[in-house]
Structure 1
């Protein structure tokens, strides 16, 4: 009888801490849903004008006849070439992606048209309760750019200069496409959040690391500065910063929101630094003669990566809310830029009318979903970096 063969236990694979962080995050359904929505909004913000139905700068192409139209409105648009030679200049893909395509046509919403000889007679679109506008007359040769028989002119007209346009989310009080402005607003909201987080991280990490590592009178001085800034309302700081810059606008809002959020980061970094500076590896670095900057940047700050990621997602959501509130009050992004807060304000001014409800509701829902997504992702990251959180997918 053969002797039994001893089995050698197979050792468990060695996993890095980042592996377990990823597994905990992937197992968190709400956090992954928030991440997916943030990724979708980021894709829309990156593509920008390339995916908008209205690709004019700031999606600002409005029609007086189409003010406050309900979602799903479909109208016929007549496109008459502009005589200005600058409107016919080619636009590069980069310029179109960055700032949109200038209007090349004079567009008119019409309810019908007919051809009389060599003249196009168009009846402007008339909304309910609006005064009837007189008919518009255009030379067919001016619209199509060529002289041809009537049948051929009609074919050219219908192929290149008449289109059916659907406003899936309706139009605002200026007759602009609400869907285009809502999508373009993601670029401003995410842009302000990103710049604000980068500014707050740069200032907060520097101040918090110096205060926590140095200690003594320098720590007391910087802690006092943090306390003073912490006690000032964020809106008051933004107003003061806007007055200091002497202007209001997108870039001023970027910087102002960022300069009001660094205290959160600094306090977290300072607290973590106070506990880490007494660790054995820091004492070993001092004994080896490592310079202070090397200890901070290569050995201490990498240990703060987890808490900084969590607070960055929280600050991202707070920055979006702060920018929306400032734009609602008229202190942030200025018209005609499509900020979600500004769009809420425009809808709020129309409450009590038929259009006020959806013009207020749609940007409000967009703000709420994006802020909720960042909060869910922040909660998921906090749990993922906590070693006590059970690991369901090993």
Structure 2
């Protein structure tokens, strides 16, 4: 009973210390905000088509705040997509969207001029409105504002940034989850049993450690194939080493403690001693490393997307957006690469700050 209350009081003390850390709390709020945005990206995005991939080449690389009249011609194809699918995976857009510079209506005919940049005159076309008896011409035309401007394919940059948050955020979760499962298991076995088992696991750890992370991820990605889940697994499989080393070191010191000796004397098996008695007492440094690994996973995924072996087009990814537009930095439109770069930087920094805050809060010596 006293041990339980002691544990609770330590948790409360750590929570109080964390609450006093302004940057830790701020980072946590920011991470929760990014998490909500990534889950409900399509609900917030102005372009809610799948992967925010609505292209309009006539309005490519436009500056932030660009406005244009958009003509939407309804499709005759029936779309049976349900609401849940639309919110979480984007709308299957069968309508035709055309940026226009001017239009006029004469005798149920909509005459419009397609948008053309650089002072050119667009193509003039006509639509017979009798084909859409229940709708007026005004229903087809609306003014669209591109808050962050458009990318080199004429897609809404804000929508791409919001949907791209999903990959960066979830790769952190999946990679850390995989690294924790493998790392805690390998570290626990090596630290608790020692001897030849420890020597063998340490050999695996050292071999994995000696291979550059990016090289290992590239090898795993090429073996599993390019794609969304393959990158998640590849990044997770490269991050367990650090967790395993920390868990091993903590268990080696913890297994000599009196509570472990007492558990052995009571006849508890090794599995119970490790999972119920040792691991709960050594999780503080593992939590701190997980926060750092979260940040590292986001950076590795961005690097892979930049190299073209991360999430594949048309899927939005911050790293891929930088890859597509880094040459625009010298072409006078640096924001196309800087905006996703700042997103990566802010999310990575938030995880590093929360890692520091957790380390300070969980440090029993201070």
What's the TM-score once normalised by structure 1's chain length?
Answer: 0.89
Equivalent position SS for 2:268: coil
2:98 matches 1:108: yes
Q: Which moved more, 1:93-102 or 1:217-226?
A: 93-102
Of 310, 318, 325, the residue aligned with 1:347 is: 325
2:263 matches 1:263: no
Q: Aligned equivalents of 2:117 and 2:332: distance in 1?
A: 13
Name the residue aligned to 2:128: 139
Of 184, 195, 219, the residue aligned with 1:205 is: 184
Name the residue aligned to 1:359: 336
Query: What count of residue pairs does the alignment treat as equivalent?
Result: 361
Of 330, 348, 351, the residue aligned with 1:371 is: 348
Name the residue aligned to 1:157: 137
Of 146, 150, 165, the residue aligned with 1:171 is: 150
Tell me if the contact between 2:39 and 2:88 (Cα under 8 Å) persists in the aligned partners. Answer: no
Name the residue aligned to 1:385: 362
* Residues 247-283 of structure 1: CA deviation (Å, up to 9, x unaligned): 1111111001100100010000000000011111111
Q: Aligned equivalents of 1:285 and 1:387: distance in 2?
A: 24
Q: Tell me the CA shift for residue 92 of structure 1.
A: 1.5
Q: Aligned equivalents of 1:194 and 1:94: distance in 2?
A: 23
Q: Which moved more, 1:315-324 or 1:300-309?
A: 300-309
Name the residue aligned to 2:221: 242
2:17 matches 1:30: no
| Root mean square deviation, CA, Å | 1.5
Name the residue aligned to 1:94: 84
Equivalent position SS for 2:365: coil
Tell me if the contact between 2:325 and 2:337 (Cα under 8 Å) persists in the aligned partners. Answer: yes
Equivalent position SS for 1:16: helix
Q: Tell me the CA shift for residue 229 of structure 1.
A: 0.2
Q: Tell me the CA shift for residue 104 of structure 1.
A: 3.4
Q: Which moved more, 1:166-175 or 1:333-342?
A: 333-342
Q: Tell me the CA shift for residue 141 of structure 1.
A: 1.9
Rg: which structure is higher? 1
Tell me if the contact between 2:329 and 2:335 (Cα under 8 Å) persists in the aligned partners. Answer: no
Runs (4+) of structure 1 exceeding 4 A deviation are: none
Q: Aligned equivalents of 1:55 and 1:293: distance in 2?
A: 49
Q: Aligned equivalents of 2:199 and 2:364: distance in 1?
A: 33
